[in-house]
Chains A and B, each alone.
Chain A
Amino acid sequence: MTHGTDNAWEHPEVQLAGGGYVAAFVVGLALMGLSFWMVRGHMFAPAGLAIAISAVAAVAALVQCVLLLHMNVSRTQVWQTVALVLFIPLFVLTIGLTSWMFHGLYRRTMMMPAAHAGAPATQAQAGGA
């Protein structure tokens, strides 16, 4: 414990924050414009559009992490970066596995007439096993 850290301006994170905010704003705006342009003009088929939008969103997230949150491996920031890296497998596991489970579940338990015709349970079982 050291004295003098009551003042938020003296925290090393703040002191070493540096710039990059304007660049982040401009790049963020550009990426948002890009995705807006893609959707408005129907530049790809719906499936391709979803992938393209997701890719742009991923780039935007990276830009925010690096330029706004200043994530890097410097002494003051390394733990924020570690937390972010830890978040990725967690995200994949929880959201990914949950989607996978629900994907099979809907076919098995909430069969609508149309879905029933399209994917009979026996077929799903055979495919799954």
Chain B
Amino acid sequence: MFVHIDGPWSPLLGRLALSEIPYNNPILIGTFAFAALLAVVLVGLVTYLGLWRTIWRDWLTSVDHKKIGIMYILIGLVMLFRGFMDAVMMRAQQAMAVGPHSAGYLDSPHGYLTPYHFDQIYTAHGTIMILFAATPLLVGIMNILVPLQIGARDMAYPYLNAVSLWLTAAGAALVMASLFIGDFAHAGWFGIVPVMELPYSPGVGVDYWMWAFQLSAVGTTLGGINLLATIVKMRAPGMTWGRLPIFTWASLSANLISLSTFPVVTVALALLALDRYFGTHFYTAGLGGNLMLYNDLFWIWGHPEVYFVILPAFGMISEIVPTFSEKPLFGYLGMVLASLGIAGVSWGVWLHHFFTMAASPAVNAFFSITTMAVGIPTGVKVFNWAFTMFRGRLRFELPMMWASAALFFLLVGGLTGMMNAFATNDYMVHNSVFVVAHFHMMLLLIVYAIFGGVNYWFPKVFGFRLEQRFGKMFFWLFTAGTAVVFIPMFTLGFMGMTRRLAYVAFPQWGPLLDIEVVGIAIYVLSAVFLVAQLYVSFRDRAKNRAGLDAWETSRSLEWMTHSPVPFYNFAVTPEVHARDERAWRVARGVDTVRPERYEDIHMPRNTAIPLWLGVLSFGLAFGLVWRMWWLVEVCAVAIIALVVIRSFDHDTDYTIAAKEIERMERAIRDVPSGRPAADDVIGGVPAFRQGV
């Protein structure tokens, strides 16, 4: 039944053998030593501090949307670091391997990476940055904020939320495992067809990529269902559609995209799996298959996916700008319609990823026009942000700096995107580093919005503000690094340099590639300041303690509960009166009113099942990669059994008595806004410890 694979196979280990461990590659040995050292230090630290019980009880088995969000963000940050390291390696290789006389190291003809290794690195960089960095970071932020912004206790399906998290974690772990066991795909993050087919990629790399992708796609689809159900069904009384905070609207649009398009990529990859495991011919040139079918299916998901990651970023900018302009958002309705408009147009533009692949001129013209049409709702957003700032009292604190710089990247990325939208123009720059520089502008817009959002909502989640001095140095160095990497990259694109070059044949490109290395070095330096910012913030957390409203001019519902947010979110479900509820209450002087009586709160109970489902999914995918059929069978049966067992568990919730809420609320001493006196923080609020 299975397609024949050349090479050894044993029933116990499948295709896995000692020779698959890259112990002879000094780069990977160094990486492994670093990862192992970090793991030993972390495990030692946790053991020394006696935190295992806390980690298990309060984090790993938690179904609290805020903790799940924080864990999503942690996964995103770890993978961001990994993807960044890939970028550093690529920049170094391209700068070293210029011209026929360039030296070669470590068995490589030029530079220090063999072409096969280099191909794996750009594949890993793309896959990681899109699916395992940007997506988890944004899903994490949506997870934390959406229930708070609509006045809910938790997500609509807290258990499903944890399942989504651990599926994503399993996917990320699979990508990491490919570093040290076997190798990763070399066929590009989107799967260059037919290179990813078995005859051209007989190794396990493409399988790693495919199954990690699947796990993340399933996790994100489930997360999308959850966020949609939460926004539709869990809104507090008075939270009508017209009063929904703008970030929640952006999340709604984004998750409409994820729900409708992620299934397409799971199907596309499932068909690839059939090709690679059962010898079918969906994506081959012969026997009824079609290469273009893969490109078509992949990008039906792929383009909406980029709007799935950019809409929450737009939502964050839309929350930050009014707060630091001390004005309500200009053009709320326009903003909402623009978000939904971007989501709508996103389904009709995918073919611009393969303008050059023989579609008829009429088809190309159609997709050119739809692609340009994206500029209309995006332009509406930009003008709304500009009019929000117009005659506002602008305060350039860190979140605002990140958000306003993001607008600059939207301009550069958007205008170069319009250039690419012309099919005729795309014929000139297709597959060049101009396209690479363009989409990095868009992804940097997302990164800037994420850093802005993290700085903005950090006090809400942890109870203290991030330090500003190192933060600003990080901002400026990161911005300088961006300029020094990507201005030469745009230039090289115009000079005709193509993507994915392990060897650069034209020496005149060398100087610009050297400048890009300087840029990436500035990025590395900026990361040092990020670490310094986090360290100093944590050290001085008592000094930077934030009240309810960390920025004093916040407007939406999440700023009405304590910082850090207690596990039950709101002691009493808030009644919503206005679009900017907090601003409305502050204007009427009722923001400090404490409820006169409390009610019982119904909460979901912790469970370890999602964690086990994640572990088993990892086992399932790992077994599929290495064709260890016993492992696949064991994990598949165990997953089904766990899901069935869970469905018979009716003890999934509990009630906190009103008296208990009152006791915890009285223990919290926070001031409505401004800087309260030094207090014990990070988990210092007793209610933040769940203990159930």
Binding site for B on A (CB under 8 A): 1-3, 6, 79, 86, 89-90, 93-94, 97-98, 100-105, 107-109, 124-125, 128-129
Which residues B280-329 have CB closer than 8 A to chain A? 290, 292, 296, 300
Which residues B640-686 have CB closer than 8 A to chain A? 650, 653
Question: By the criterion CB–CB under 8 Å, are B363 and A104 in contact?
Answer: yes
Q: Which residue of A lies closest to B653 (CB)?
A: A1
Question: By the criterion CB–CB under 8 Å, are A101 and B296 in contact?
Answer: yes
The answer for the CA separation of A101 and B347 in the assembled complex, in Å, is 15
Q: Which residue of A lies closest to B234 (CB)?
A: A1
Q: Which residues of B contact A98 (CB under 8 A)?
A: 296, 300
A/B interface sample: 12 pairs, CB < 8 A:
A1-B153, A86-B260, A93-B348, A97-B348, A97-B351, A101-B359, A104-B359, A105-B292, A105-B360, A108-B360, A125-B361, A129-B362
Question: By the criterion CB–CB under 8 Å, are A109 and B358 in contact?
Answer: yes
The answer for the CA separation of A105 and B300 in the assembled complex, in Å, is 17
B88 contacts A by Cβ under 8 Å: no
Q: Which residue of B lies closest to A96 (CB)?
A: B348
Q: Which residues of A contact B602 (CB under 8 A)?
A: 1-3
The answer for the CA separation of A97 and B653 in the assembled complex, in Å, is 47
Given contacts A1-B653, A90-B347, A93-B348, contact A100 B153 (CB under 8 A): no
Q: Which residue of B lies closest to A6 (CB)?
A: B650
Q: Which 8 A-B pairs have the closest CB atoms?
A: A104-B360, A128-B360, A128-B362, A128-B361, A129-B361, A108-B358, A109-B358, A1-B602
Question: By the criterion CB–CB under 8 Å, are A79 and B360 in contact?
Answer: no
Interface string of B341-359 (1 = CB under 8 A from A): 0001001100100000011
Question: By the criterion CB–CB under 8 Å, are A79 and B363 in contact?
Answer: no
A124: contacting residue among B264, B347, B360, CB under 8 A: B360
- Name A's interface SS: helix
B232 contacts A by Cβ under 8 Å: yes
Number of interface residues of B (CB under 8 A): 24
Q: Which residues of B contact A90 (CB under 8 A)?
A: 260, 347
Given contacts A3-B602, A94-B264, A129-B362, contact A101 B653 (CB under 8 A): no
Question: By the criterion CB–CB under 8 Å, are A100 and B347 in contact?
Answer: no
Q: Which residues of A contact B292 (CB under 8 A)?
A: 101-102, 105
- Name B's interface SS: helix
Known: A98-B296, A105-B358. 9 other contacts (CB 8 A): A90-B347, A93-B347, A101-B360, A103-B360, A108-B358, A108-B360, A124-B360, A129-B361, A129-B362
A101: contacting residue among B153, B348, B363, CB under 8 A: B363
CB distance from B519 to the nearest CB of A (A): 38
The answer for the CA separation of A108 and B366 in the assembled complex, in Å, is 18
Q: Which residues of B contact A104 (CB under 8 A)?
A: 358-360, 362-363
Question: By the criterion CB–CB under 8 Å, are A100 and B363 in contact?
Answer: yes
Question: By the criterion CB–CB under 8 Å, are A89 and B653 in contact?
Answer: no
B351: contacting residue among A101, A128, A129, CB under 8 A: A101
The answer for the CA separation of A104 and B357 in the assembled complex, in Å, is 11
CB distance from A1 to the nearest CB of B (A): 5
Interface string of B82-108 (1 = CB under 8 A from A): 000000000000000000000000000
The answer for the CA separation of A108 and B360 in the assembled complex, in Å, is 8
Interface string of B231-274 (1 = CB under 8 A from A): 01000000000000000000000001000100010000000000
Question: Most chain-B CB neighbours within 10 Å: which of A3, A6, A102, A107?
Answer: A102
Q: Which residue of B lies closest to A102 (CB)?
A: B292
Q: Which residue of B lies closest to A126 (CB)?
A: B361
The answer for the CA separation of A121 and B430 in the assembled complex, in Å, is 23
The answer for the CA separation of A2 and B296 in the assembled complex, in Å, is 44
Which residues B99-139 have CB closer than 8 A to chain A? none
The answer for the CA separation of A101 and B256 in the assembled complex, in Å, is 25
The answer for the CA separation of A6 and B366 in the assembled complex, in Å, is 50
The answer for the CA separation of A109 and B354 in the assembled complex, in Å, is 14
CB distance from A102 to the nearest CB of B (A): 7
The answer for the CA separation of A101 and B366 in the assembled complex, in Å, is 10
Q: Which residue of A lies closest to B296 (CB)?
A: A98
The answer for the CA separation of A9 and B668 in the assembled complex, in Å, is 42
CB distance from B361 to the nearest CB of A (A): 4
Question: Most chain-A CB neighbours within 10 Å: which of B256, B264, B358, B650?
Answer: B358
Q: Which residues of B contact A124 (CB under 8 A)?
A: 360
Q: Which residues of A contact B604 (CB under 8 A)?
A: 1
Question: Most chain-B CB neighbours within 10 Å: which of A89, A97, A102?
Answer: A97
The answer for the CA separation of A128 and B363 in the assembled complex, in Å, is 8
CB distance from A38 to the nearest CB of B (A): 29
Question: By the criterion CB–CB under 8 Å, are A89 and B347 in contact?
Answer: yes
Q: Which residues of A contact B232 (CB under 8 A)?
A: 79
CB distance from B435 to the nearest CB of A (A): 20
Q: Which residues of B contact A102 (CB under 8 A)?
A: 290, 292, 296
The answer for the CA separation of A42 and B260 in the assembled complex, in Å, is 39
CB distance from B268 to the nearest CB of A (A): 12
Q: Which residue of A lies closest to B604 (CB)?
A: A1
Q: Which residues of B contact A3 (CB under 8 A)?
A: 602
Q: Which residues of B contact A105 (CB under 8 A)?
A: 292, 358-360
The answer for the CA separation of A94 and B358 in the assembled complex, in Å, is 18
Q: Which residues of B contact A86 (CB under 8 A)?
A: 256, 260
